[in-house]
């Protein structure tokens, strides 16, 4: 048994497979602009840097640019639609609940550190009955900075009541590896998430391909 750690999770593509609902919201906005839908398979790797960036990437796929005012309007439309359809098809990744149960039973703290807006993150986790599992849920607007800025990681750990020196980041993309490196903590990469650069190429300290492998990967870092 190791001393209690704080395990900090990314949300989209790490805890929850949110791609179906995010891409549906993106395509809703694109349709309103008279643009074709983005295929689900290719759009998955557009996710991960917030709503505005997702829309920008969707527009780039059609070689379209818009004014800042139009982008503001499209982002607001996206958020409004997504908030009302946030958990239609989104589901926790297989094996996640068992892993969280094990960590909780071992006395570890759990937290969420995401570039999604905090209120949207909480709404999603509420609807999936996951909120109660986390000591802190922090988003892009919680501290005024986004990953990979290490401030968001450090403040998330502090809000969870943990110690950065005894913490681990779990994520699927470059922002997650980046925030861990800048905060000076180890990172576990998941290969089933959303990233334009394969997570293995980013050299996380551990790489898993299924959530059932998370407890062993975390334990190996805790005891290293």
Centre a 10 Å sphere on the Cβ of residue 51 and count the other Cβ atoms it contains. 24
- pLDDT given for residue 217 in this prediction: 98
| Active-site position among 10, 21, 176, 205 | 10
| Alpha helices (H) in 39-142, listed in sequence order | 40-43, 51-60, 68-84, 96-105, 118-127
Centre a 10 Å sphere on the Cβ of residue 107 and count the other Cβ atoms it contains. 11
- pLDDT given for residue 2 in this prediction: 67
CA dist 43 and 127 (Å) reads: 24
Are 148 and 182 spatial neighbours (Cβ–Cβ below 8 Å)? yes
- pLDDT given for residue 1 in this prediction: 54
Which domains are seen in the chain, by residue range?
Answer: 6-17+91-223 (3.40.50.1000), 18-85 (1.10.150.240)
One digit per residue, pLDDT tens: the chain, 224 residues? 568 999 999 999 999 999 999 999 999 999 998 888 888 887 888 887 778 888 998 888 878 888 999 999 999 999 999 999 999 999 999 999 999 999 999 999 999 999 999 999 999 999 999 999 999 999 999 999 999 999 999 999 999 999 999 999 999 999 999 999 999 999 999 999 999 899 999 999 999 999 999 999 999 999 98
φ and ψ at residue 169, rounded to 5 degrees? -95, 140
- pLDDT given for residue 44 in this prediction: 84
* pLDDT 10s digits, 134-163: 999 999 999 999 999 999 999 999 999 999
- pLDDT given for residue 66 in this prediction: 85
Binding residue positions: 10, 12, 172
- pLDDT given for residue 137 in this prediction: 98
* pLDDT 10s digits, 29-43: 999 988 888 888 878
Binding residue positions for Mg(2+): 10, 12, 172
Q: Is 17 a catalytic residue?
A: no
């Amino acid at each position: 048994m190791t001393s209690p750690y704080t395990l900090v999770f990314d949300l989209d593509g790490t805890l929850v497979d949110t791609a179906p609902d995010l891409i549906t919201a993106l395509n809703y906005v694109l349709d309103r602009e008279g643009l074709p839908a983005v295929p689900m398979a290719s759009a998955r790797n557009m996710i991960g840097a917030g709503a505005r960036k997702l829309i920008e990437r969707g527009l780039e796929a059609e070689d379209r640019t818009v004014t800042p005012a139009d982008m503001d309007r499209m982002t607001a439309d996206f958020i409004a639609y997504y908030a009302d359809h946030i958990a239609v098809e989104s589901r926790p990744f297989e094996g996640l609940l068992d892993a969280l149960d094990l960590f909780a039973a071992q006395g570890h703290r759990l937290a969420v550190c995401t570039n999604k807006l905090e209120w949207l993150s909480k709404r999603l986790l509420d609807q999936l009955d996951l909120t109660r599992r986390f000591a802190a849920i922090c988003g892009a607007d919680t501290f005024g900075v986004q990953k990979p800025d290490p401030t968001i990681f450090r403040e998330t750990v502090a809000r969870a009541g943990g110690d950065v020196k005894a913490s681990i980041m779990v994520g699927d993309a470059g922002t997650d590896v980046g925030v861990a490196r800048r905060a000076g903590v180890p990172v576990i990469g998941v290969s089933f998430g959303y990233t334009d650069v394969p997570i293995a190429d980013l050299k996380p300290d551990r790489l898993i391909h299924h959530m059932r492998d998370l407890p062993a990967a975390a334990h190996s870092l805790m005891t290293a």
